[in-house]
Amino acid sequence: MNVPVRERLIEAATDLFYAHGVRAVSADKIIERVGTTKVTFYRHFRTKDDLVVTYLEGRAALEREGVTSAIAQAGGDVDTTLRLISEALDTVACSPGFRGCPFINAAAEYPDPTSPVRQVIDAHRSWWTKTFEQLIAPLGLPAPAAVADDLMVLRDGAMVAGYLGDPAAAAGSFLRGCQAIIRQSRP
């Protein structure tokens, strides 16, 4: 099957950016991996940062699909949804080559909040927080935005701990922490 060059560039960038860091991977490395030319690369991506944006948008789409699926599978039940998200975190963190959250990693390399890369990161993080807030809305908690922020911090911590420590323990801590925050937040 003949995969279009654009898709091969995105696939190579996804592998290389995640494994080595965005700044450490040059456009030339991606071009070499794909076996194409600079002209072809720049025909598809005006700049390397445009490719970074595309890479992160792809990762965001995968995460959103997974979370949306967990919510649907759980029928909106908060505890079940959080358990499914925890199980997914465990599965991802236990996979070979796991290097933490691609958004946290990229944010460390793109500190400028006006960068298009950082804007994709911020939009995805905002999506997560809003999704947590929508998930817990039926619980009638007095400060749902604050609880959603807390759940996001737990998600971030689980991703980092899953990379630096025991992935299963990180996923379990995420779930227990979410349950404790919700329990403590009830009127």
Q: Which domains does the chain have, with CATH numbers?
A: 1-46 (1.10.10.60), 53-185 (1.10.357.10)
Q: Name the amino acid, one letter, at 135.
A: L
Q: Is 11 exposed, middle or buried (0-12, 13-18, 19+ CB in 10 A)?
A: middle
The contacts of residue 84 (CB under 8 Å, 6+ apart) are 70, 73, 74
User: pLDDT tens-digit profile of 20-33?
Assistant: 999 999 999 999 99
Sign of torsion over alpha carbons 79, 93, 159, 58? negative
- 39 pLDDT exceeds 70? yes
> Which residue bears the tokens 């929508």?
134
User: pLDDT tens-digit profile of 60-118?
Assistant: 999 999 999 999 999 989 999 999 999 999 999 999 999 999 999 999 999 999 999 99
Q: What is the pLDDT of residue 2?
A: 83
Q: Which of 183, 181, 179 is nearest to 86 (CA)?
A: 179
Confidence of residue 152 (pLDDT cuts 50, 70, 90): very high
- 119 pLDDT exceeds 80? yes
Q: Could you give the CA distance from residue 146 to residue 113 in angstroms, rounded to a whole number?
A: 23
- 1 pLDDT exceeds 90? no
Given a contact cutoff of 8 angstroms between Cβ atoms, the answer to whether 84 and 73 are in contact is yes
Confidence of residue 187 (pLDDT cuts 50, 70, 90): confident
